């Protein structure tokens, strides 16, 4: 009974807000009887509803709860059956006044306690990923307060169409001790390039209170290949007139097409002189990255001495999403086709002369 009569020794006053409970911690020994008297003023003929609860700080167990009597005082008379630390929660539940002044008479040594908090630890602040690879990103929920929190649940959500996310770690933690961090991981799958945000909401319980903590994490999805293919002409064969006429040799351009993602398609189109360009024609691949374009001798015969114009077009094989591949159209290349030159005329004249000589000799015999 000694503690009861010690009430007069201590009178402390506090303000209790409507939204935030007032919290105290106090140590009790087993079998200790404690009296606490809480007073608050009566306002406008109405009573403010102040409620007091006590919890075991380590287990969260409720060991005392105010009787629901409308008055302007509360007498707590409790004998604890365990030596431990208790949290005393004083709540301004409803009624009049946002802030209510309280006077507490108690023999206990009350220490003000803080509302616990949790925070989200992104181990990577800004998540950047390419469109070709899914990623698993680790997060941590940390209890930054001084008391355990209970029934921690994590909800992840994105309203962005650029990514899909799945929580592949734990979603629920029954208890999170002070300074403890529990990890969970998100599987992030890119859908399109752009900036996406992930809202992570953590709900947890402390005493009989529930709290929500939210954080937004940004994810940038970038293209893993932003360069179109490169086209390089390696070799050009312009046959001479004799080669065209006698050997049927073709005009040929050999070129190389390269791309970090690989080359999907290569096309060529051409025109002779000032004519119209042909359609885009699929190009012949002769070996890895090497392509050729040819014009037959029969076509060349009717265009001797004219100019050939050629353009190449190539598309890369990057296809992580629609519209991912890039294409390039080369510059216009021009090549002069051989003509019947002076040397050929001389050569042809010599052949004619020899032919005549041979014919004359035959006639003389």
The whole-angstrom separation of Cα 242 and Cα 347 is 11
Joined together, the tokens standing for residue 64 give 């005392």
Binding test (CB under 5 A) with Ca ion, winner from 227, 232, 301, 307: 227
Q: At 83, give phi and psi (nearest 5°).
A: -85, 110
The reply to whether 231 sits near Ca ion by the rule CB under 5 A is no
3-state secondary structure of 210: strand
**Cβ proximity of 320 and 131 under 8 Å:** yes
Q: Measured from the CB atom, is 164 or 299 closer to Ca ion? A: 164
Residue count of the chain, please give it: 365
Segment interacting with Ca ion (CB under 5 A) among 111-119, 143-151, 180-188, 253-261: 253-261
> Between residue 22 and residue 81, which ones bind Ca ion under the rule CB under 5 A?
none
Of 223, 165, 173, 158, the C-alpha closest to 193 is 223
Distance CA 52, CA 174 (A): 25
Is the CB of 49 or the CB of 131 nearer to Ca ion?
131
Query: Do residues 247 and 267 touch, judged by C-beta distance below 8 A?
Result: no
Q: Which is nearer to Ca ion, 189 or 336 (CB)?
A: 189
Residue with Cβ nearer Ca ion (49 or 318) = 318
Helix, strand, coil fractions of the chain, as percent rounded to 5: 10, 55, 35
Q: CA dist 258 to 242, 246, 270, 290, Å?
A: 35, 36, 21, 9
The answer to whether the Cα torsion of 161, 162, 167, 168 is positive or negative is positive
What's the token pair of residue 163? 């990514």
Q: Does 224 bind Ca ion (CB under 5 A)?
A: yes
Residue 323 CB, shortest distance to Ca ion, in Å, is 8
Stretch that binds Ca ion, among 65-73, 85-93, 218-226, 246-254 (CB under 5 A): 218-226
Which parts of 1-20 interact with Ca ion (CB under 5 A)?
none
- Please list, in sequence order, all residues whose beta carbon lies within 8 angstroms of the beta carbon of residue 98, skipping any fewer than 6 positions away: 17, 18, 92
Q: Which one, 128 or 296, has the nearer CB to Ca ion?
A: 128
Q: What span, in angstroms and rounded, lies between the C-alpha atoms of 141 and 121?
A: 6
| Range 305-364, binding Ca ion (CB under 5 A) | 316, 318, 320, 324
Nearest distance, CB of residue 88 and Ca ion, angstroms:
59
> Closest CB to Ca ion among 71 and 224?
224
What is the closest distance, in whole angstroms, from the C-beta atom of residue 282 to Ca ion in the complex? 19
Of the candidates 261, 270, 312, 315, which one interacts with Ca ion according to CB under 5 A?
Answer: 261
Q: Check if the beta carbon of residue 197 is closer than 8 Å to that of residue 216.
A: yes
Sign for the CA dihedral angle at 96, 102, 106, 108 comes to positive
Minimum distance between the CB of residue 318 and Ca ion, rounded to whole angstroms? 4
Among 3-11, 38-46, 180-188, 252-260, the segment contacting Ca ion (CB under 5 A)? 252-260
Helix, strand, or coil (residue 48)? coil
- Give the residue, chosen from 55, 92, 131, 257, that forms a contact with Ca ion under the rule CB under 5 A: 131
Q: Which residue, 74 or 318, is less far from Ca ion as judged by CB?
A: 318
Select 119 or 130, whichever has its Cβ closest to Ca ion: 130
State the nearest-atom distance from the C-beta of 293 to Ca ion, in Å. 22
- Total chain residues near Ca ion (CB under 5 A): 11
Looking at the Cβ atoms of 223 and 294, the one nearer to Ca ion is: 223
Residue in 120, 259, 308, 310 binding Ca ion, rule: CB under 5 A? 259
Q: What's the min distance (Å) between Cβ of 283 and Ca ion? A: 18
Residues forming contacts to Ca ion in the complex (CB under 5 A) are 131, 223-225, 227, 259, 261, 316, 318, 320, 324
């Amino acid at each position: 009974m000694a503690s009861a009569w010690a009430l007069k020794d201590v009178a402390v006053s506090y303000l209790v807000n409507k939204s935030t409970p007032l919290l105290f911690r106090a140590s009790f020994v087993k079998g200790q009887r404690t009296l606490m008297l809480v007073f608050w003023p009566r306002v406008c003929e109405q009573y403010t509803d102040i409620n007091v609860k006590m919890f075991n700080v380590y287990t969260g167990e409720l060991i005392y709860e105010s009787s629901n009597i409308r008055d302007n005082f509360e007498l707590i008379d409790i004998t604890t059956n365990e030596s431990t630390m208790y949290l005393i929660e004083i709540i301004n539940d409803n009624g009049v006044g946002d802030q209510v002044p309280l006077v507490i008479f108690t023999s206990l040594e009350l220490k003000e306690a803080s509302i616990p908090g949790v925070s989200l630890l992104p181990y990577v602040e800004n998540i950047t990923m390419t469109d070709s690879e899914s990623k698993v990103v680790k997060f941590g929920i940390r209890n930054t307060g001084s008391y355990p929190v209970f029934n921690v649940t994590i909800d992840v959500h994105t309203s962005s169409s650029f990514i899909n996310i799945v929580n592949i770690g734990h979603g629920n933690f029954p208890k999170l001790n002070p300074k403890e961090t529990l990890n969970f991981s998100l599987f992030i799958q890119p859908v399109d390039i752009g900036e996406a945000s992930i809202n992570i909401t953590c709900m947890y319980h402390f005493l009989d209170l529930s709290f929500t903590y939210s954080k937004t994490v940004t994810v940038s999805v970038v293209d893993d290949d932003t360069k179109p293919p490169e086209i390089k002409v390696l070799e050009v064969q312009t046959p001479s007139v004799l080669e065209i006429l006698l050997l049927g040799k073709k005009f040929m351009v050999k070129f190389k097409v390269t791309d970090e993602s690989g080359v999907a398609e290569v096309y060529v189109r051409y025109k002779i002189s000032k004519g119209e360009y042909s359609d885009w024609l699929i190009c012949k691949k002769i070996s890895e990255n090497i392509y050729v374009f040819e014009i037959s001798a029969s076509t060349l015969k009717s265009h001797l001495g004219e100019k050939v114009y050629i353009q190449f077009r190539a598309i890369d094989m990057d296809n992580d999403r629609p519209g991912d591949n890039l294409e390039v159209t080369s510059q216009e290349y021009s090549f002069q086709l051989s003509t019947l030159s002076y040397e050929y005329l001389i050569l042809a004249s010599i052949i004619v002369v020899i032919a005549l000589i041979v014919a004359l000799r035959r006639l003389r015999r």
